[in-house]
Structures are given as structure tokens and as C-alpha cells.
A and B are shown apart, each in its own frame.
Chain A
């Protein structure tokens, strides 16, 4: 029996690896999403801003130094007023910050202004810049409202009075920040699992009906059960074969010497390695490692079962591809791909409770980025239930469908 199961799984693996269109169908959309995240990483956080300092006074210099110092918020370029206006018109900068000629005199009178000329094309971009410039300007009168003050001012026991009468004592939950790319790549990995597990198994199942090879399998002396189990095992193996190297790469990138920030590698090498170096996963403890494995196994089996059901229901490779791509996209976004479900409106959170990928993404983020496993029990229980239910249902349905040809 084990030989028959293994034979069926190997057969499916071989068929799948010989189908470039199927591999492309499963991988290309997920890789497209990956490119999207990589591009987004470049565009979040910092904005291109021009700085025009029209005064030579000491306060104007201090104001400019504060703005230049906030490198986390701006990609700053100092220009003349005319150049800055041209750059704003040509969209080379999103805003211009102007420290006016009479700045020092106005400061002495207590009514100085820093002008912000803003391309408020959409509210997300405009608010980012408004927040950043407001902080920089506030720092002039209240130095502890700057990032350094937030992190190591009142929170470290040093409180300086300020005219706004409120200061910030920030306490971060963890020692290091997780990069935007790291945080968002987790859903991409889950999307790859969904795409390969769901589409791969669905296409294999539909192919049997299109080519009428299902009847041949029924005539095999191996029996129905080993063949059905072999199909599910094959789908799971395909998924593991493609996802394992990707996750392993996330851990191995720690050992690439040129990924360190102070690396003296040439620019071309730094640029070439920026993709892999951005894909660094924190090395988990053994308990968190086990949790990761459990979550991957459960979500893989869930998608393999669902893929089999999809293939039986549609029995047409083209329909399976389109349906699979739609289903994968919904499972990805409603499960928290590119978003955090807890941050969405209540009704969407309610809908997402019925989407298994939500538990996979939540669980994987918890296991990789948090020191404890709060909520893991719920995530693994739901996913395990989905895996068992979809596999049992898929087995019965597939056996019956093959019998009827």
C-alpha cells in the first residue's frame, strides 16, 4: 500500500514538474506580488522633499539642521527656490520646505513660520509629509519631540519642559524593528503555498478527467485509497519542494557577508544582493521552529484538499486556473496579505474569521516576530481542523468521482 501511495505521489510530482504552464500559473502571480512588496519597500517611509533655506541667521541654520537630521522621514535635497519650484512642477519632489529670509527676526518676536509647499495628490502621501514636517518644526521649541527625544528622553528619566506641555515617553516592545519587506513577505510565502497547493493539485485532478486517465487508475490493482492518498501526498510534496528552499533562504541570508550595513562591498554587489539581503528571517527558537513547521504543514494540507475539490468540481484546466487565481487572491487578501486583519473594519474581520489563511499568516508572524506564542493554539487548531476536513472531504469526493469516471 505504501508503495502505491508513494508511486502515485511521485507520478504527480513528475507530471507537475513537466508542466511549465502549471508551474507558471502557480508561481508567477505570487512572484508578481513579491515584486510589488519589494517596490513598496522603496516607496514607504521616506519622501523626496526639497529644502530651501533663505536666511543665513543662526536660528535658520538650526531649523535646517533639525530638518536635515530627520533622515528617517525625508530624502532631502537642498535647492534654490527657483530650482525647488521647478522640481515640484516636474514631480521630482513631493514637497518644498522653506525657511524664510526673516526667520531669525520672527523667532525673536515669537511668530516665525516654516512654509511647506505640498503636492497633496493623495491623502496618504500628503499626511506622511505633514506629520514629518510638523514634528521637525515642533522640535525647534521642544527638542524632545524629535525621534531621539521620544525614544530616550522622558522614557529614560530625562524630561525637559516644553511650551506644548506634553512630552512622549516611548517604550518599544522589541529591541529591533522588523523591516517592511520582512513583515510583508510572510503573506507572500503563504500565497505561494496557496497557489501551488491549490492550483497544482486542482490542475492534476482536472487533467485526469480531461484526459480520461481517471478510468485507468480505477482499473489499477492498487485500489482507490492508496491512489487518493497518493494524490494528496503528491500535492503536499510539490508545495514543500518549492516553499522549503524559499524559507531556508530567509534563514541562510544571515550568513551572506555583504548584507551587513557596514559592508564595504562595491555598489553593484550591494544592489545585486539587496533582494536576498532584504529577505532575512529571524532565526526562531526550537519551539517557534516547531510551530512554524506545524503551521506550514497544516496550511499546505488545507490547500491541497481544497485544490482537489476544485479540480473535481470544474474538470477543466482553464476554468481551474481562473478560479484558482481568484480564490488564491481572495484567500490572500482576506487572510491579511499586505494588511493586518486586526486593523481592518469589524465586518471584514468577521468575514476573515472564515478564511483559513488568516490563521496561517497570524500564526507565522507570531512565531517569527514575537517572543511568545500568544494565539498560536487557536491558529494551529483552526488550521488543523481545516486540513483534516478538506483532506477527508477531498478523499471521499475524489474516490466517488473516479468511480463514476
Chain B
């Protein structure tokens, strides 16, 4: 009974502290939604290179070729403009390239003559250049297949491992949820413990006959609850704004709750280690991006090479993304089974909670 009262007292204290820091909490929640928006912006430029199309032919084969360009694996966002406008846009970085279909294209193709398409590329960005260089042959092959031109001896036959592709933005926003959990829960957890040193109440906690573990549990419980509420808004945005519905709703909720608990414990440890909110916040923000990108957030980490994959195991976000992508899309993005990812997350939470308690009670022995 005494432990329950202690827990409730700790929770009440933390709730009062968070109420007095309402704007700080609100800004932390805003940061969570911001991450979703930013990740979406990044995803929007992952495909569809803006390319000007100048069609000097206008015949049926040129129309068919344009359709093939539009269907070439989400590669081109074709813009129709005059040659002068295209030239200016290309030189000021607003286009990746200009494709010019020459006059007489349809007539020559009908006669079986190979026609060169003029392509001017602004090769300032090697990634975009590669995409365009690879997409053009894909469009030409699709064009040739559509018209059954003779002489093609080899074609590619695709066998997909999964029944359907997952869109890039739906994939990215789910992994962004793990990042959100880390930032929100981490910062609120860090604030909870760092405040003990900033307000010089850590001595009272140490001198009190009450168990500091129970008090800390109460305080972190409230911090986690607030973080979970903020994360809930991000989750609703993903479901209703992005239209990404989890295939396993209960697993999603359970995973997110576990992520919140774990990252609150990690944040509490960081706060106890640095003893200042102002130092803990930028550290968690700074760690968030590298942790995020090296966690299978953009594609399964192992596809980036063994070295990066091994390093990824240091990031708790790696395990969280592994579980969340499975819960939302049914994808396995880590070679480890889902239950292993969950066990590692639980182990991290236990270790960091123990380390935090160790920091808070440091001095009792002296």
C-alpha cells in the first residue's frame, strides 16, 4: 500500500511539473509531427525526376513512347514546355533533364529505323543522373514490348518476394514513428531526471526513507503517458492523413507502448547522466537522425552492407523499426525474428532503468 501511495505521489509531482512546462511539452510533441512531415518531403523526391519533354513529332509512336516514359518505374515527372523555357529551367537546377523526340520519329519507327532520342541531363546530382540513365532504357524496352517489334531475344521476368510493393512514403512514415517515440519519450524522460539536479531536489530524494525506485517509476510513468498521448496523435496522422492502416493493430499499439516505455527509460538515464535538460535535449535530437537512418528506416539496413548493419545493432531504433514495419506492413526488415527484436528492446529498458536508479541513488553509499 505504501509503495502504491509513493508511486501516486511521484506521478502527481511529475504531472504538476509537466503542467507548468506545458509549452515545452507541446513543442516536443510538435517535433514529433515535424519528423513525419520532413520524412515525407524526403520521400517525395525519392522518385519522379522532373524532366522537360519536347515532342517535335506528334505522331502515334511518339505518344506511345511518352506513355512508356510515364510508366517507367515511377521515374519521370514529365513537364511540357517550350525549348527556351526548358533550357532556362535546366540551367537553374529546376529540371534534371530535357528529352526531345525528333520530328519524323513515328515515321522512322514505322519503317523499322532506329531513332536517337536527344537527352540533355544536368548531371549535378549523381543519384538523379543514375536514375534517369537507368530509367530511359526501361522506357525504351517497354515501348518495344508494347509494339512487339521483332528481333528482341531476351527479356527480364520478375518474381517478387512480396505480393505487392510498399510505397516509399508509407514505409518511411512508419519508421518515423520509432524516431518520434525516441525523441518525445527520450526528451520527457530526460527532463524528469535532469530536473532533480537542476532544482537540487536530488539530495532530498537520496535522503528520503522512501524508495527512490518507486518514486522514479511514478514520475516516469506520467512522462511515458504524456509521450504516448503525443505519439498517439502522430499515429492518428499516419492512419487518417497518410492512409496507412496497420495490418496488425494490436501489435502496433503494443509495440508503440513498449517503445515509449523503453525510450523513456533511456531518456531518464541520459538526463541523470548529463544532469541538465539543455544538454540532454540536443544530444537526443543529434542522436535521433543517425540512429534513424542506420535503423532500416529507408530500406532494410543489411542492404547497406555488413559494416553498417552491424553498427545498426547499437541503435535501439533498429529493433523498434523492425517490429513496427512488421506490425504496419507485415514486412520483415531485419534478419532477426520479431520476438528477438522485442526481447532486445525489453532488455535495453531494464538495463537503462537500472542505470538511472544507480545514478539517482549515487551518494547513498557514501
Contact = CB atoms under 8 A, between A and B. Distances in A.
Interface of A: 20-22, 24-29, 31-33, 35-36, 39-40, 42-45, 47-48, 63, 72-73, 75, 88, 90-94, 107, 110-128, 130-135, 137-142, 145-147, 150, 154-155, 159-174, 177-180, 183, 317-319, 321-323, 325-326, 329-330, 333-334, 338-340, 342-345, 348, 362, 365-366, 369-370, 372, 374-375
A348 B37 CA distance: 11
B130 A72 contact: yes
21 contacts: A20-B279, A22-B278, A24-B279, A28-B287, A32-B287, A32-B289, A42-B304, A45-B130, A73-B134, A123-B47, A123-B171, A127-B74, A138-B141, A142-B137, A163-B151, A164-B141, A166-B114, A167-B140, A174-B124, A325-B282, A370-B124
B29 to A, nearest CB: 10
Measured as residues with beta carbon below 8 angstroms from the partner, the interface class of chain B is: 35 or more
A222 to B, nearest CB: 29
A278 B232 CA distance: 40
Given A28-B285, A122-B168, 20 more contacts: A21-B282, A24-B283, A24-B286, A28-B283, A32-B287, A91-B302, A92-B302, A94-B300, A121-B300, A126-B160, A134-B156, A145-B141, A164-B140, A166-B114, A168-B117, A170-B121, A171-B121, A173-B90, A322-B31, A329-B31
Task: Count chain B CB atoms within 10 A of each CB in A31, A36, A179, A375 and give the residue with the most.
Answer: A36
Given A35-B289, A40-B293, A170-B133, A118 B158 contact: yes
B69 to A, nearest CB: 11
Nearest to A119: B161
Contacts of A321: 278, 281-282
B119 A169 contact: yes
Nearest to A348: B41
B290 A35 contact: yes
Nearest to B77: A343
A338 B24 contact: no
A172 B278 CA distance: 49
B148 to A, nearest CB: 10
B114 A167 contact: yes
B152 A164 contact: yes
Contacts of A39: 290, 293-294, 304, 308
A94 B144 contact: no
A122 B167 contact: yes
Contacts of B290: 32, 35-36, 39
Given A131-B134, A163-B151, A173 B278 contact: no
Contact of B165 (A24, A123, A168, A170): A123
A375 B89 CA distance: 10
A127 B89 CA distance: 27
A165 B91 contact: no
A141 B41 contact: no
Given A123-B166, A333-B38, A343 B50 contact: yes
